Chain A
């Protein structure tokens, strides 16, 4: 077996909870760290080299972040000392007390700057992980560039499309050392579902993807759906010579068992639901909102549903609706800064989870829900239909009535319990060790 070099650029500077991509990087790294494979860990320096990292550094980072998650800042916000309305009220009061000659100086441009600063301050006060937790910087072994050997394989699962020189650097190293490149491809959402992002990403991502197709030896899409999109892209661009493209399934084995401690924000530990994922347009929280509105209209009782995730882009209106619509805001609760222990408890004890995303490269929260034996209602589109079609209750991401029917079904404790038994009996989580073996087998092919 060739020497495997795992790219940990994802952890160069990081704070707060692990994102989906970071969880994949970590899962892969830890599975290789525990193997007999000759493995090294590196990080891209942003210039023209990679630097070696000790795997122990990653573990140290996680400990540090876990400790920070217990910080008292989040508690201060949750206890209600600084509510959103109070901050707004204070800001207005300050503005009205400003002398007119000062107000006159507040140009639209300056007003924008002030609003941005105020939002950042509000976000910090709310306990946004990005702001509250100091970023952890990944320490490297030395500042000397890592020396790749002939036929090394670099496995990268990082979000590197924002590093303009990353691929160029790899090309240069490859031409000198015959390094083989294996890159994980998550999805082509910025290409084929670009309406779910703000402008600008599509072109940048396409540039990265095109270069990747030309430089990589192995591309590892994380679902058959992503592979299909990748081949469509290659066809659209007229690319003839493709690298080896093989699907790998991501591990979904759960690291921690749930504690018995009920999170403070949970009112009824016996009857609640949960949805996990960044609150962004593509994740389609709007469908949940409309399903709950429909439940009110039809007089159907649904449990409290906790929306666990950081606010992302293009969702200002739906968050406003969820928070301010008196029909549903007692049932739909957005919760921030949920700790790993709390999340594990939520997954374990929910009547059901919901994942109404419009499109995914994979859909880890679906697999995680099943790993905790909890019924999952998820969209039938893209990769989500591949994860465990026999155990997931699939619905259209554009049909709140269909979703409401399934939610109503699992609101019954008996129905939820029966489904748990089915999942528990049949669903086998895919471990990161399985993922590692699949990657190794692909790398062995040539």
Chain B
């Protein structure tokens, strides 16, 4: 049995984001395999996500309220243990108290600073670099699209991240990648032993009462077809939506509603303000922007939905929403890109792939009008492959 310390730059007390969910699942799966696991977050104290006992807040004032903290907060934390501070003291106490045999760094940013402390302590265990993306590439995209920084300034940040990633890849005893393409890149960085553990999912338990309430609400409006789009406020979630559907919602009958759930709702709301006034009344009738909903309500919506759409046209990594859609056994209309790293599930029934607007909307209309095919036992087994217990299996076995 291993004593595993999992470290991330965010708390997993109330996991809502994709990264938080992945880390929470990793902790759970390690524990399910009989390991003794502790998680600790080293996080900026502006993060309003609550904190567990081990979590260590880095004072916000330390960074002089850097206006870019909303995009590079994780990078700002990458040297958080390198100087004498309350956080370093607390971290050392945790190491001495828990005596981990394995230290696993989630999303790489903390790798160097943690390694420095562990070296100072003369710790000799297994170091695991658990990546979620190729962070330097992702950050470059984000800095380019959501800041006014010039190329030189962007390169400064991207190089700093690249340094950490390459150091971690070379130094770690083994590396976890989300996708095959990330695995290739990490090997190029010098990673010796890479395990691919895609993102997975665990569906929330459906509260039948809540589901009935939702169904009744729509029935009263004459709506009996629900299309679900779940997405965060990550800009590519809007890009794909705008490109493939936008204001062209007239293909949906009056008995149909497209429900946007999560942070993407606010992006779509802003986008609708740019639509011509002759489209807006129709759009507002066919599309409902539900915003953030409770886990219970999300489970109800996934249960009731006649169709889930995955209109993803850009961005990297693998998409947790794809796994969610696969596991929910609902009809899916998706882009090729949204099924990246889930290609083996494309043989399941009720999945239509379309990569341009016209085809995508037609697929949505066709899918709603066609009866759903039942999955065979073999297909059910295949679909269960997206559950965390399966996607993280190789990672857990690697430490067994």
Closest B residue to A211 using CB positions: B254
Q: Kindly list chain B residues whose C-beta atoms are within 8 Å of the C-beta of A93.
A: none
A191 interfacial contact with B, CB 8 Å = yes
A236 interfacial contact with B, CB 8 Å = yes
B375 interfacial contact with A, CB 8 Å = no
Q: How distant is A232 from chain B, measured CB to nearest CB, in Å?
A: 11
Interface centre among B247, B253, B281 (most CB of A within 10 A): B281
B278 interfacial contact with A, CB 8 Å = yes
Assuming the contacts A202-B277, A203-B277, A207-B282, asked whether A236 and B254 have C-beta atoms less than 8 A apart, the reply is no
Bound complex: CA of A233 vs CA of B253, how far in Å? 17
Bound complex: CA of A203 vs CA of B399, how far in Å? 62
- Asked whether, in the complex, the Cβ of B251 is within 8 Å of the Cβ of A238, the reply is yes
Q: Kindly list chain A residues whose C-beta atoms are within 8 Å of the C-beta of B245.
A: 238
Within 243-271 of B, Cβ neighbours of A (below 8 Å) are at 245-251, 253-254
Q: How distant is B382 from chain A, measured CB to nearest CB, in Å?
A: 32
Assuming the contacts A202-B277, A203-B280, A206-B279, asked whether A236 and B247 have C-beta atoms less than 8 A apart, the reply is yes
> B251, B253, B254, B281: which contacts A203 (Cβ < 8 A)?
B281
A234 interfacial contact with B, CB 8 Å = yes
Bound complex: CA of A239 vs CA of B358, how far in Å? 10
Bound complex: CA of A205 vs CA of B248, how far in Å? 17
Bound complex: CA of A214 vs CA of B249, how far in Å? 13
Q: Provide the B23-37 mask, 1 if CB < 8 A to any CB of A, else 0.
A: 000000000000000
- Asked whether, in the complex, the Cβ of B361 is within 8 Å of the Cβ of A206, the reply is no
- Asked whether, in the complex, the Cβ of B281 is within 8 Å of the Cβ of A234, the reply is no
- Asked whether, in the complex, the Cβ of A238 is within 8 Å of the Cβ of B250, the reply is yes
Assuming the contacts A238-B361, A240-B361, asked whether A206 and B281 have C-beta atoms less than 8 A apart, the reply is yes
Q: Kindly list chain A residues whose C-beta atoms are within 8 Å of the C-beta of B67.
A: none
A255 interfacial contact with B, CB 8 Å = no
Bound complex: CA of A387 vs CA of B278, how far in Å? 28
- Asked whether, in the complex, the Cβ of B278 is within 8 Å of the Cβ of A206, the reply is yes
Q: How distant is B50 from chain A, measured CB to nearest CB, in Å?
A: 42
- Asked whether, in the complex, the Cβ of A203 is within 8 Å of the Cβ of B278, the reply is yes
- Asked whether, in the complex, the Cβ of B281 is within 8 Å of the Cβ of A237, the reply is no
Closest B residue to A203 using CB positions: B281
Closest B residue to A207 using CB positions: B281
Q: Kindly list chain B residues whose C-beta atoms are within 8 Å of the C-beta of A203.
A: 277-278, 280-281
A265 interfacial contact with B, CB 8 Å = no
- Asked whether, in the complex, the Cβ of A234 is within 8 Å of the Cβ of B250, the reply is yes
Q: Kindly list chain B residues whose C-beta atoms are within 8 Å of the C-beta of A313.
A: none
Bound complex: CA of A239 vs CA of B253, how far in Å? 10
Interface on chain B toward A: helix, strand, loop, or mixed SS? loop
Within 100-157 of A, Cβ neighbours of B (below 8 Å) are at none
Closest A residue to B253 using CB positions: A214
A210 interfacial contact with B, CB 8 Å = yes
Q: Kindly list chain A residues whose C-beta atoms are within 8 Å of the C-beta of B247.
A: 236-238
- Asked whether, in the complex, the Cβ of A206 is within 8 Å of the Cβ of B282, the reply is yes
Q: How distant is B338 from chain A, measured CB to nearest CB, in Å?
A: 20
Q: How distant is A210 from chain B, measured CB to nearest CB, in Å?
A: 5
Interface centre among A210, A214, A236, A238 (most CB of B within 10 A): A238
- Asked whether, in the complex, the Cβ of A239 is within 8 Å of the Cβ of B251, the reply is yes
Q: How distant is B307 from chain A, measured CB to nearest CB, in Å?
A: 15
B362 interfacial contact with A, CB 8 Å = yes
Q: Kindly list chain B residues whose C-beta atoms are within 8 Å of the C-beta of A213.
A: 250
B122 interfacial contact with A, CB 8 Å = no
Closest A residue to B249 using CB positions: A238
B371 interfacial contact with A, CB 8 Å = no
- Asked whether, in the complex, the Cβ of B365 is within 8 Å of the Cβ of A240, the reply is yes
Assuming the contacts A238-B361, A240-B361, asked whether A202 and B251 have C-beta atoms less than 8 A apart, the reply is no
- Asked whether, in the complex, the Cβ of A238 is within 8 Å of the Cβ of B248, the reply is yes
Assuming the contacts A202-B277, A203-B277, asked whether A237 and B254 have C-beta atoms less than 8 A apart, the reply is no
- Asked whether, in the complex, the Cβ of A237 is within 8 Å of the Cβ of B277, the reply is no
Bound complex: CA of A236 vs CA of B248, how far in Å? 6
Q: Kindly list chain A residues whose C-beta atoms are within 8 Å of the C-beta of B248.
A: 235-238
Closest A residue to B281 using CB positions: A203
Bound complex: CA of A241 vs CA of B252, how far in Å? 10
Q: How distant is A180 from chain B, measured CB to nearest CB, in Å?
A: 19
- Asked whether, in the complex, the Cβ of A214 is within 8 Å of the Cβ of B254, the reply is yes
Q: How distant is A22 from chain B, measured CB to nearest CB, in Å?
A: 26
Interface centre among A191, A206, A213, A241 (most CB of B within 10 A): A206
Q: Kindly list chain B residues whose C-beta atoms are within 8 Å of the C-beta of A237.
A: 247-250, 279, 282
Q: Kindly list chain A residues whose C-beta atoms are within 8 Å of the C-beta of B251.
A: 238-241
Q: Kindly list chain A residues whose C-beta atoms are within 8 Å of the C-beta of B362.
A: 240
Bound complex: CA of A235 vs CA of B358, how far in Å? 10
Q: How distant is B227 from chain A, measured CB to nearest CB, in Å?
A: 13
Within 273-287 of B, Cβ neighbours of A (below 8 Å) are at 276-282
- Asked whether, in the complex, the Cβ of B250 is within 8 Å of the Cβ of A239, the reply is yes
- Asked whether, in the complex, the Cβ of A236 is within 8 Å of the Cβ of B361, the reply is no
Q: Kindly list chain A residues whose C-beta atoms are within 8 Å of the C-beta of B254.
A: 214
Q: Provide the B343-367 mask, 1 if CB < 8 A to any CB of A, else 0.
A: 0000000000000000001100100
Within 197-226 of A, Cβ neighbours of B (below 8 Å) are at 202-203, 205-207, 210, 213-214
Q: Kindly list chain A residues whose C-beta atoms are within 8 Å of the C-beta of B277.
A: 194, 202-203, 206
Can you report 15 residue pairs joining A to B where beta carbons are below 8 Å apart?
A: A194-B277, A202-B277, A202-B278, A206-B281, A206-B282, A214-B253, A214-B254, A233-B278, A235-B248, A236-B248, A237-B282, A238-B248, A238-B250, A240-B250, A240-B251
The list of the 3 closest CB pairs from A to B, nearest first, reads A238-B248, A237-B250, A206-B278
List chain B positions with a Cβ less than 8 A from chain A: 245-251, 253-254, 276-282, 361-362, 365
Known: A210-B250, A237-B248, A240-B365. 20 other contacts (CB 8 A): A194-B278, A202-B277, A206-B278, A207-B282, A213-B250, A214-B254, A233-B278, A234-B250, A235-B248, A236-B276, A236-B278, A236-B279, A237-B247, A238-B245, A238-B247, A238-B248, A238-B250, A239-B250, A240-B250, A241-B251
